[in-house]
Structure 1
Amino acid sequence: MSDVTLTLGPVLFSGFEIPPFLSFGGAQRLAVHRLPGGARVIDAMGRDDATITWSGIFTGAAASERALLLDTLRGAGLTLPLSWDVFFYSVVISEFTAEYQAGWWIPYRIACTVVQDEVQFAEGLVATLTGQATSDLANAATLAQTSGINFAGATSALAAPGATTLGTSAYLGAQNAVGGLQASIAGGMGQAATALAGTAAPLAGSNALAGASALSQATAAAGTLAGLAAAQGYVGRTATNLGNASS
């Protein structure tokens, strides 16, 4: 899988971090009614996606910070986008464990509980685009509330009459507003990532007071980064749904 792009929230895995394989799938929940004579009536109750797990090794100068970021994401319990190849899920990190062997070599294992298979969701999308978009932007705004990004403009643009109808000025306005929101989120993630990277030296130093302060800053930056990454997934779905409305 070395040639596959694997991302979980704000984390882009690379090198030894990428596992040799990823399992996906799950079960179909069934209610089996056994009748006299051996006959059966089976009610399909819906999909039950399996937990997605993998393991790898964080290496290099930023290994500790990257492991800390994933552990912070685990603790936050946020819904995050997980994607590789043609697969795209919304997940919550249910387990993350790491073995600190050196600052540049940290084996890890992660388990993600599937909230929703976004590919299947998109294929089954019905004509409730405005309601779905409004709900997604509300969720995104909650997740990104510490970033100071304003979601009001995009929400208003999507609520305008004709916002989901191709060729109208309202549709163009909605596309521009959502695109601008994506750019703002990307910029906020860049700032949070820079802030997180700036804590690397103090965390690795011998000054305990500076290290404690840096850990607090790193946790705050990682939390902001995680929230924005999750918000990006919701806003990205809104942008995709708007694009589908034109097809």
Structure 2
Amino acid sequence: MSAGFGLALADTLLATLEQAPLILGSVLFYGHEVPARIKVGGQHAVSIHRLPGGGRIIDAMGPDEGAISWTGYFTGPSAAARARVVDAIRQNGDLVGLSFGDYAFNVVVVHFDYDIQDRGAVISYRIRAEILPSTTSPVNDTAGAIATSISNDLLTAASLLPGSAAGSSLSQAQVVIAAASAPTATQTLALVGNALSAGGSALQAALSMTGAGLVTGGANFGTAGTSQPSLDGLAQDAGSLAAMTQSAGYVNRSQSNLNQLAGLPQGDPLIFA
């Protein structure tokens, strides 16, 4: 086994097993672009009525989601170009999807700035996005934007899974939502939801099977008896797992957006990658 092959395989395994994707709109963050920490949460809005004698009445008025913020780095020859793509999202003020790990939100990027370092080879950035609450009933224009986001995400998710049962189901869901003239119609939501659920279940099964195979194969990694074909298979499985993990991020965001169209709470993610 060549040193270059072993290094590439180790890097692929590390990226696959230890780093879930972060996706903002159409931008997939990777490497140093993915933050080690992301701030989420918020507060609960209340109205406090103070009474004589020290008493008080507290009216709970509902959750007030805080902004999601994080920092990171763009590196390499495309660093400036990628920073400009994210900055265009901020300038346009578009409603875009944000997903990372098991979280998925619809957000508007309200702040993005970056520092150009080392003649553009390194760009540090800071970003803040405000959440559109999932309990908000989308108006017609917003419903159309969310449906478009679902369609785009499903198209990307399916393209990462060519020839698979999961990819076929996700493609079916994408065709339905893309052709829907009324994306919030009960029949449309049901058809998309069923196909999305089938694709998610197939993808979850494939993730579990491939991940288990990598763990088993990784136990023999670097041993004297490890053959080149075995290493090639391990590298291929690692690449497949990376593609499936990326696809899972788009699928979970699609599920969250579909719940919003249906007026349902966000609930658990469809896939745990």
Please report the TM-score for the alignment, with normalisation by the length of structure 1: 0.54
Task: Assess if the C-alpha contact under 8 Å between 2:24 and 2:96 holds in 1.
Answer: yes
- The whole-number CA distance in structure 2 between the counterparts of 1:41 and 1:103 is 56
- The whole-number CA distance in structure 2 between the counterparts of 1:98 and 1:164 is 40
Match of 2:47 in 1: 31
Match of 1:115 in 2: 132
Task: Choose the corresponding residue for 1:155, options 156, 181, 206.
Answer: 181
- The whole-number CA distance in structure 1 between the counterparts of 2:25 and 2:257 is 14
- The whole-number CA distance in structure 1 between the counterparts of 2:55 and 2:143 is 49
Match of 1:106 in 2: 123
Task: Assess if the C-alpha contact under 8 Å between 1:81 and 1:89 holds in 2.
Answer: yes
Task: Assess if the C-alpha contact under 8 Å between 1:17 and 1:57 holds in 2.
Answer: yes
RMSD after superposition: 4.3
1:139 aligns with 2:145: yes
Deviation at 1:163, TM superposition (A): 5.3
Deviation at 1:138, TM superposition (A): 2.8
Aligned with 2:38: secondary structure?
Answer: coil
The one-character-per-residue Cα deviations of 1:54-99 (angstroms, maximum 9, x if unpaired) are 1111011211111000111100001111111111111111110011
Task: Assess if the C-alpha contact under 8 Å between 1:136 and 1:234 holds in 2.
Answer: no
Please report the TM-score for the alignment, with normalisation by the length of structure 2: 0.50
Provide structure 1 residue ranges, at least 5 long, that are not aligned to the other structure.
126-130, 144-150, 166-170, 177-232
The one-character-per-residue Cα deviations of 1:189-246 (angstroms, maximum 9, x if unpaired) are xxxxxxxxxxxxxxxxxxxxxxxxxxxxxxxxxxxxxxxxxxxx7797348978x9xx
Residue pairs, 1:27-106, within 5 angstroms: 27-101=43-117, 102-106=119-123
Aligned with 1:100: secondary structure?
Answer: strand
Q: Structure 2 vs 1, CA of residues 33 and 24 (structure 1 numbering), >3 Å: closer, same or farther?
A: same
Match of 1:10 in 2: 26
Task: Assess if the C-alpha contact under 8 Å between 1:95 and 1:112 holds in 2.
Answer: yes
Match of 1:237 in 2: 257
Aligned with 2:132: secondary structure?
Answer: strand
Q: Structure 2 vs 1, CA of residues 153 and 133 (structure 1 numbering), >3 Å: closer, same or farther?
A: farther
Residue pairs, 1:172-211, within 5 angstroms: none
Provide structure 2 residue ranges, at least 5 long, that are not aligned to the other structure.
1-14, 150-176, 196-252, 265-273
Give the paired residue count: 169
Match of 2:222 in 1: none
1:18 maps to amino acid: V
2:71 maps to amino acid: S
- The whole-number CA distance in structure 2 between the counterparts of 1:133 and 1:20 is 35
Q: Structure 2 vs 1, CA of residues 53 and 157 (structure 1 numbering), >3 Å: closer, same or farther?
A: closer
- The whole-number CA distance in structure 2 between the counterparts of 1:66 and 1:36 is 58
1:114 maps to amino acid: I
- The whole-number CA distance in structure 2 between the counterparts of 1:25 and 1:239 is 20
- The whole-number CA distance in structure 2 between the counterparts of 1:115 and 1:86 is 17
1:28 maps to amino acid: H
- The whole-number CA distance in structure 2 between the counterparts of 1:157 and 1:40 is 46
Aligned with 1:24: secondary structure?
Answer: coil
1:96 maps to amino acid: F
Task: Assess if the C-alpha contact under 8 Å between 1:137 and 1:155 holds in 2.
Answer: no
Task: Assess if the C-alpha contact under 8 Å between 2:99 and 2:105 holds in 1.
Answer: yes
Q: Quick one: higher RCO (CA 8 Å, sep 6+), 1 or 2?
A: 2
- The whole-number CA distance in structure 2 between the counterparts of 1:115 and 1:71 is 19
